[in-house]
């Protein structure tokens, strides 16, 4: 085990190829609408894809609206794209994209920059019913997937596939309020622990409650990250983390020593140490670009591999 108490990732196969190390799917991005004053978001899914790639998965696939997919792929050219057309956005079309992705990916991230329109809420509800008869074995629910989840009535309590939820304190508070659970995810260490555990138990999920000293719980086991830095408090770093988690999940499907809980912990620890390293290298406490963080991932993550150099 590493000094953090986390298990080691298995050594990379020397004769491996891009199909060996897992495929991550990303569903996100929003075109924005001036009439409804909603934002255009193309960076979030791109950062998820880049984070997943730098964490070592073999392939990344992105599903986004046709009008913004090329821009997203320009930012993340290692990925391939699944477009859907805005003029035909209905629950069925999004469901079809999700089902198609689930046959080609080992883990999927749903939500970064997705939006919370009514049809997207229904799409998130549909995601709760995907079965493991397809290739995908785990879902990472991030950002707008969590916001859309709060708006469903009823809120699905159990998901067919194993899920990892990655709320920041604000998203966690919205979920807890919608569930009428009285815990404070922005409080002291004990309160954050209670909030994280309550969400994990309710959804039967691994919950990553982000923030300084991120808390991770599956409802029974709990792990708290002791590393981190305030430079990580900037837009985009959470998207990178979601991609890192999905990447490790995809790579660890056949590893009996690393389950979804462990993969989330290793990703969070690596992410936190990357923030510390960036601060040290730049002699700065602010100004981090999420892409700078991404560049540090391979070297820091190598400490968690059995084939550490």
pLDDT tens by residue, 32-62: 887 777 889 999 999 999 999 999 999 999 9
Q: Is the pLDDT of residue 143 over 90?
A: yes
Would you call the peptide bond into 154 cis, given omega within 30 degrees of 0 as the criterion? yes
Task: State the average pLDDT for the chain.
Answer: 93
Q: What is the pLDDT of residues 166-191, one digit of tens each?
A: 999 999 999 999 999 999 999 999 99
Q: Is the pLDDT of residue 1 over 60?
A: no
Residue 89 — pLDDT band, cuts 50, 70, 90? low
Q: What is the pTM of this model?
A: 0.96
Q: Is the pLDDT of residue 163 over 70?
A: yes
Q: What is the pLDDT of residues 112-126, one digit of tens each?
A: 999 888 778 888 988
Residue 86 — pLDDT band, cuts 50, 70, 90? low
């Amino acid at each position: 085990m590493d000094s953090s108490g986390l298990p080691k990732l298995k050594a990379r196969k020397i004769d491996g190829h891009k199909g060996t190390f897992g495929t991550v799917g990303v569903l996100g991005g929003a075109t924005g609408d001036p009439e409804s004053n909603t934002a255009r978001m193309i960076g979030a899914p791109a950062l998820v894809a880049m984070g997943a790639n730098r964490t070592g998965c073999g392939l990344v696939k992105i599903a986004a609206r046709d009008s913004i997919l090329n821009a997203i792929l320009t930012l993340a050219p290692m990925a391939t794209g699944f477009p859907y057309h805005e003029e035909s956005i209905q629950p069925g079309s999004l469901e079809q994209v999700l089902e198609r992705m689930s046959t080609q990916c080992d883990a999927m991230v749903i939500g970064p920059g997705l939006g919370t329109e009514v049809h997207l809420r229904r799409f998130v509800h549909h995601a709760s019913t995907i079965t493991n008869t397809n290739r995908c074995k785990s879902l990472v629910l991030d950002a707008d997937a969590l916001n859309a989840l709060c708006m469903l009535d009823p809120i699905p309590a159990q998901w067919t596939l194993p899920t990892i939820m990655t709320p920041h304190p604000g998203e966690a508070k919205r979920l807890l309020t919608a569930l009428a659970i009285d815990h404070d995810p922005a409080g002291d260490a004990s309160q954050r622990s209670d909030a994280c555990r309550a969400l994990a138990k309710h959804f039967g999920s691994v919950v990553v409650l982000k923030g300084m000293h991120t808390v991770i719980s599956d409802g029974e086991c709990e792990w708290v990250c002791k590393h981190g830095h305030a430079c990580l408090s900037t837009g985009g770093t959470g998207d990178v983390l979601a991609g890192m988690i999905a990447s490790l999940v995809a790579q660890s499907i056949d590893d009996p020593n690393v389950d979804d809980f462990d993969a989330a912990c290793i990703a969070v620890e690596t992410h936190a140490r990357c923030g510390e390293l960036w601060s040290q290298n730049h002699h700065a406490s602010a100004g981090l670009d999420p892409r700078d963080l991404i560049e540090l991932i391979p070297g820091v993550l190598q400490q968690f591999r059995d084939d550490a150099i």
